[in-house]
Amino acid sequence: MSDFDVAYDKNADVLYISTKLTGPSYRSEGENGIVWSHQIADGRLVSMTVMDFNAQWQNRLALLTEQLNEQLHSPSPVGPTGRAQATN
């Protein structure tokens, strides 16, 4: 998948990256303030929200890109508690 919508909120210092996928999803917070949203049905990545983007990631974009790439290629069909958490 290579089609993304990207938005940056300068006031909140938050980067939003979303795919074109829709449907019920669950969210989980990963390391360093990244919130991942995956489809419940098959675990494919729907979006990621990067908190404190400039403060934490501006000088580590390669690592952020690597984490995004890992999520795109590693579906997680259930949430961290072992059950899906619907966000709609």
pTM of the model as a whole: 0.72
DSSP 30: -
pLDDT at 83 over 50: no
H or E element that contains 66:
helix 61-73
The sign of the CA dihedral 64, 12, 88, 21 is negative
Domain edges within the chain: 5-73
The order of strands in the sheet holding 14-18 is 5-9, 14-18, 45-50, 34-39, 25-29
More confident residue, 34 or 85: 34
Amino acid identity, position 77: P
The predicted structure's pLDDT at residue 77: 44
